Amino acid sequence: MKSPFILLPLFLSILNTNASPIPAPAPVPPNIPSGSTARSQLAALRVAPVGSQTGYSRDLFPHWSTQSGTCNTREVVLKRDGTNVVQDSSCAATSGRWYSPFDGAVWTQASDVDIDHMVPLSNAWKSGASSWTTARREQFANDLSNPQLIAVTDDVNQAKGDKGPEDWRPPLTSYYCTYAAMWVKVKYEYNLSVNSAEKSTLQSMLSGC
């Protein structure tokens, strides 16, 4: 008698819409709002001068936290944002392909890819996170539910640093709508403020969306 499990892979491949020979588009972080929703959310954000950096440390935002088994948040995002990502028993990505939507570059080594915090940790600190609990900051730094984490070219992530959109925008202008919508969504979800230059930059980035 055949085990019903023999049919399981076939059944799953029928369910799996990615089985088509056409390559699936690069996965995007979840819950990116439409342009009009992002414009409404931006209008609702508190506008305040940039707060103090005093007391800030990356260690106050624990990451990368364990998500499941041996996999931490970075490894989960590498898998989510890449294609054909193979991981070893410790969850390290041993092969795969990563498209960086900030600059359009493609990488085949995980070491060339950083997981960007869309709203950088120190930017969050200066716009409200200094008063949070450590647990809240850990949630923010490891958030897989909002568009806060994205796999991008490491050099581009480093060029961004802790800059907001008023000081740094991704090289691909075609990504401005998505970038601004992600930024606004995260600030909105976490009740973080924007400064006035940041707000007007985001308004112009979202104007054509």
Ligand X SMILES: *[C@@H]1O[C@H](CO)[C@@H](O)[C@H](O)[C@H]1NC(C)=O
Contact 107, 100 (CB under 8 A): yes
Least Cβ distance, residue 89 to ligand X (angstroms): 42
Least Cβ distance, residue 77 to ligand X (angstroms): 27
The token pair at 163 is 């800059």
CA distances from 196 to 42, 73, 165, 167, 203 (A): 11, 32, 11, 12, 11
Least Cβ distance, residue 48 to ligand X (angstroms): 8
Q: Which CB sits closer to ligand X, 34 or 191?
A: 191
Site for ligand X in 104-163 (CB under 6 A): 128
Q: Can you spell out the DSSP letters for 147-191?
A: TTEEEEEHHHHHHHTT--TTT---S-GGGHHHHHHHHHHHHHHTT
Contact 208, 34 (CB under 8 A): no
Contact 174, 131 (CB under 8 A): no
- Asked if residue 64 has a cis previous peptide bond (ω within 30° of 0), the answer is yes
Least Cβ distance, residue 128 to ligand X (angstroms): 5
Q: Say whether residue 52 binds ligand X (CB under 6 A).
A: no
Q: Say whether residue 62 binds ligand X (CB under 6 A).
A: no
Q: Which CB sits closer to ligand X, 20 or 131?
A: 131
Least Cβ distance, residue 132 to ligand X (angstroms): 10
Q: Say whether residue 191 binds ligand X (CB under 6 A).
A: yes
Site for ligand X in 70-89 (CB under 6 A): none
The token pair at 78 is 């590498």
Q: Which CB sits closer to ligand X, 62 or 128?
A: 128
Closest-by-Cβ residue to ligand X is 191
Q: Which positions touch ligand X (CB under 6 A)?
A: 128, 191
